[in-house]
Amino acid sequence: MTEQKRTGSLPELLRFFLPLAVTWMLMMITHTIISAGLSRTINPTVSTAAYAVALSLASIIDAPFNMLRQTGMAFISSPQTFQVVRRVTYMTLVFFMAIAIAIGYIPALEQLVFKDILGVSDELLAATITAFRVTMLLSLANALRCLYQSMILINKHTTYISTGMFLRVGVMVLLIYCFANFHWVVGPLVGSITLVVGLSVEGIVAYWFGRRLIPEGDTTVAPRTVWTFYLPLIASSLFVAMGKPFINAGLARMPDAAVYLAAFSVASSFAWVLISPTQNIHQVTMVFGRHRENRPLVQKFAVGVAIISTTALLAISLSPLGRWVLTNLIQVPTELVEPTLMGMRTFAFFPPILCWLEYNTGLMLLAQATRLVSLGKTINLLTTIAFVLILAPLVPGAIAAPLAQILGFASEGLVLQLSLSLEKRGLIQRAH
């Protein structure tokens, strides 16, 4: 490897990052597209609220497969290592899909999960269960997508990922148009079916490109080694995903629960369009931060991403543009406009915290310190739950929910920062 490649540069970093940023923004736009589709149903508030709860639960089942990218990037270096990672993927998929089917189709578990734990009202229960039975299929598509995207990332062909996302968005826009005008399906199924089909298209595209990029070589890896790396990441992803159902459970127990659940869902889906590029900072760190001399550049880049994201979100949510988008483009019901704007303004505090957190996460993954990453996610979840319970009675739900998440991510960042500081001082030793 030449010195120029080893040290990296801002143009090289941008060529890697921008397709990923566009991809994540488009992915978040798909959620806004779904919000627009749900807003055009017969009972938009109920449909949006039911879909939000179903998706938050399905996201827990789906979360472990998001970590296949990092696992594949860490271990796939030959056809043999690819086979090992693929077997691990299959085993994980069977386990979590069995759980999803049990929750969706066994009445006793339906009662326990949806009524007792999530606090879903009788008004929303039937629609929420129906939506979940579809959204749980996300895991199948996401496992395919993330496994083969890991090979795309290894080879730095990030434009392939953007291609899949563009096709996903196109298919979802077409479906929303058909559902809104021809009423093929109604209620929360508008969102559930659109999301599952869209993600499936993206997964097929990732498979098409990624299968041609499996590295040549004869390296091997023991399944136990992969599991040792992957299991803490599964745990950490579950902790992150569980945050939103707990938030929804808190909001579901407030007065005007349907309004706040729907407003939080719309605010979150819109805000994350602008926040989402921060989610790629750990991948930038893993690729370009392998060499210490590159890390100041990666740090400055992360700061720039945070500033741009926060500025854009504030500019929209504090100006008439935000109200216009919600009223005319997404067409949310009138009672949701103001609480949604309040939530969007609170989300503006996310980017600086997430960029700092994602950079440190990338360093941890480089060191294969996945147990420390999992510890951080645990602290994040506990902090989020605690502050949801504390803040929900004190402030409007549209503010309480994102504020609790901010405090959760901040606590996670502090855990990772402390771990890195202790490691630099030689007080803890991480396995490489």
Q: What value does the mean pLDDT of the chain take?
A: 86
Residue 40 lies in a domain: yes
Residue 52 lies in a domain: yes
pLDDT at 5: 44
Range in 45-59, 245-259, 405-419 the model is least confident about: 245-259
Average pLDDT over residues 111-138: 90
How is residue 214 annotated by DSSP?
P
Question: For residue 424, how far is the Cα from the chain centroid?
Answer: 30
Residue 30 lies in a domain: yes
Pairwise pLDDT comparison (144 vs 21), residue with the higher score: 144
- Write down the pTM of the prediction: 0.77
Long-range contact set of residues 94-103: C-beta below 8 Å, sequence gap at least 24: 96/61, 96/64, 96/139, 97/61, 97/136, 97/139, 97/140, 99/61, 100/58, 100/61, 100/136, 100/139, 101/136, 103/57, 103/132, 103/136
In this predicted structure, the answer to whether residue 432 has a pLDDT above a threshold of 50 is: no
Question: What is the C-alpha to C-alpha distance for residues 169 and 151, in angstroms, rounded to an integer?
Answer: 22
In this predicted structure, the answer to whether residue 429 has a pLDDT above a threshold of 70 is: no
Burial class, 292, CB count within 10 angstroms (exposed 0-12 / middle 13-18 / buried 19+): exposed
Q: Which domain holds residue 108?
A: 3-424
Residue 432 lies in a domain: no
Residue 429 lies in a domain: no
For 365-381, write each residue's pLDDT tens digit.
Answer: 888 788 888 888 889 88
pLDDT at 3: 40
For 180-199, write each residue's pLDDT tens digit.
Answer: 888 788 788 999 999 999 99
Number of domains in the chain: 1
Amino acid (1-letter code) at residue 253: R
Helices (H), ranges, 189-222: 189-210
Residue 430 lies in a domain: no
Residue 8 lies in a domain: yes
Confidence of residue 76 (pLDDT cuts 50, 70, 90): very high
Residue 96 lies in a domain: yes
In this predicted structure, the answer to whether residue 43 has a pLDDT above a threshold of 90 is: no
Joined tokens for residue 323: 């109200």
In this predicted structure, the answer to whether residue 428 has a pLDDT above a threshold of 70 is: no
pLDDT at 150: 92
Q: Which of 251, 276, 249 is nearest to 263 (CA)?
A: 251
